[in-house]
Amino acid sequence: MPDEETLSFIKNDHARKFIQSMPQTPKRRPTEGLNYPNPVALDLIDKCLEFSPDKRISVEEALAHPYLKSLHDPTDEPAFTKDVDFEFENGSFDLKKLKKMIIEDINAVNKATGEEVYDVTKVMSTAK
């Protein structure tokens, strides 16, 4: 059971109370019990799944992790410098509106990278 300090990042009272109502169990690594032959991969997974965001591995640390050694190239890993807008979480909307928002976000990225832009109307007419 996480202590109060660890739970302090959870702002939703209902979510915090739900976690606190769970039975007391000893802390375990997320990969504990997995039978996987690469302990370096398991170490990265454990660090990515750390409950506390303050203790969780950062993107930069993950990219520099020994498991990604053969892929890591600091000269070709640009940092994301824009703000992320989570305002949509404050609204109420249905699944169709959420799908439309996702397609619009994909289109914004695709426009910036010169990739295909999807016709929102056409995609939404085939969405279930």
Expressed as residue numbers, the domain containing 117 is 87-126
Whether residue 96 sits in one domain with residue 60: no
CA distance 34 to 37: 9
My answer on whether 91 and 47 are in the same domain is no
Instruction: Specify whether the CB–CB gap between 41 and 67 falls below 8 A.
Output: yes
Residue 81 lies in a domain: no
Structure tokens at 104: 């619009």
Report if residue 106 sits inside a domain: yes
Please state, in angstroms and rounded to a whole number, the distance separating the CA atoms of residues 38 and 45: 11
Write out the chain's pLDDT in tens, 128 residues.
788 888 999 988 999 999 999 998 888 899 999 989 999 999 999 999 999 999 999 999 999 999 999 999 989 888 888 888 877 777 777 888 888 888 999 999 889 889 999 998 888 887 65
Does the pTM surpass 0.75? The reply is no
Distance between CA atoms of residues 92 and 83, nearest Å: 22
> What gap in Å lies between CA 96 and CA 75, rounded to an integer?
40
Quick one: tokens of 110? 């695709």
**Is the domain of 49 the same as that of 106?**
no
Number of domains in the chain: 2
Q: Is 50 a member of any domain?
A: yes
**Matching residue, tokens 């032959």:** 37
Instruction: Tell me, yes or no, whether 60 and 21 share the same domain.
Output: yes
N- to C-terminal Cα separation, the chain: 40
Residues 104 and 44 in one domain: no
